[in-house]
Amino acid sequence: MDVIPEGFSPSAGFVILTVEGLLLGVFTPIGIKIIDIVLNIIKNVIMAKDLLFSFNRILLVIRAR
């Protein structure tokens, strides 16, 4: 078991490393493409949730009548 400095969790270090890796990866064409894909997925998920939410509201209105 490694000695971990107080107030420093391994996951925080991992996040910092990942962010650094992402920042370095941003400047490569592949990195840009991956970020583009990830942003598109996030956008689609948000849109799907909005769609689902409004669909549920419509169903509730129909059921209420």
Predicted pLDDT of residue 17: 64
Give, in degrees to the nearest 5, the angle at Cα 43 between 40 and 47. 135
Residue 55 is assigned to a structural domain of this protein: yes
The per-residue pLDDT for range 5-64, each reduced to its tens digit, is 555 555 655 666 666 766 666 667 776 787 788 888 888 888 888 888 888 888 888 888
Residue 41 is assigned to a structural domain of this protein: yes
The residue type found at 16 is I
Residue 48 is assigned to a structural domain of this protein: yes
Q: In which domain, by residue range, is 63 found?
A: 29-65
Predicted pLDDT of residue 65: 74
Predicted pLDDT of residue 26: 62
Predicted pLDDT of residue 25: 62
Predicted pLDDT of residue 8: 54
Q: Which two tokens stand for residue 48?
A: 């799907």
Structural domain tally of the chain? Answer: 1
Is 31 in contact with 25 (CB distance < 8 Å)? yes
